[in-house]
Amino acid sequence: AGTPHVTIARHYDPAAKLLTLVIRQHTPPTAGQAEKSPVPIPIRFGLLDRHGGAIALKSGPKDPGVPEQTLILTEAAQTLVFHDVAQDPVPSFLRGFSAPVVLDAGLSEAELAHLAAHDCDPFGRWEALQAIARSACLVGDTHPSALIAALARALEQAQSDAAFTALLLRLPAWPELIQLRPDADPEALHRARAQVRHAVAVALCEPLDLVI
């Protein structure tokens, strides 16, 4: 019972061109089950460079590398090391929604925006945008500049996939926000989400009219 929580810590060594990922899993206790054993969790991932291109995943110096990999996390903690990583990458985890887990990858807002703009995986782009939107809604940001910029980029690609763009434009639902902040005042959280929605609508009224 319960949903596993996965945390990912990363360290990049520019001198050695090594990227180390430490991936941990933990399932919180539930009624009648205080301690949980690790479960198999498939984590499909890739790395992006500063231009949005794929960085080859090389497990050794002579490894030719692959653009994407799936780790089956079976232990409480596992470590991965990748060689010949020429720059500090932006990782894209849980591609294709490879596992129904709660993920904390420690990504900054700028890194999430980079994924939202460039990730080759549609779920990765959607989840990055949702993460930016969740953060804005939880604090009631009256000018969510990162979210507005990310949505503006999504609108630029609307003609190539209008249905997917419509999904990207949807803010996290109110029940989802309540689950993330169960101690919050429901009315205040509702107002905060409405403030973000209004700010996005005002900032993007012209491109939205063009799409409509």
> The whole model's pTM is what?
0.90
| pLDDT tens sequence across 31-49 | 889 999 999 999 999 999 9
Closest CA to 109 of 89, 139, 131: 131
In 176-203, which positions are buried (b, 16+ CB within 10 angstroms) versus exposed (e)?
ebeeeeeeeeeeebeebbebbeebbeeb
Residue 212 pLDDT grade (very low, low, confident, very high; cuts 50, 70, 90): very low
What tokens appear for 21 in the block? 């990922």
Give the integer Cα–Cα distance in Å for 133 and 147.
6
- Quote the radius of gyration of the chain (alpha carbons, Å): 19
Q: What is the residue-averaged pLDDT of the chain? A: 93
Q: Please say whether the beta carbons of 116 and 19 come within 8 A.
A: no
CA 31 to chain CA centroid, nearest Å: 30
CA 101 to chain CA centroid, nearest Å: 12
| pLDDT tens sequence across 116-156 | 999 999 999 999 999 999 999 998 888 899 999 999 999 88
Provide the pLDDT for residue 203. Answer: 93
In what helix (H) or strand (E) does residue 116 lie, and over which residues does it extend? Answer: helix 109-118
Provide the pLDDT for residue 87. Answer: 95
| pLDDT tens sequence across 150-194 | 999 998 887 788 899 989 999 998 888 888 887 888 888 899 999
What tokens appear for 172 in the block? 């996290």
DSSP letter at 76 equals S
End-to-end CA, the chain: 44
Q: Please say whether the beta carbons of 87 and 49 come within 8 A.
A: yes
Longest CA pairwise span in the chain (Å): 57
pLDDT at 210 over 80: no
Give the integer Cα–Cα distance in Å for 31 and 121.
37
Amino acid at 184: A
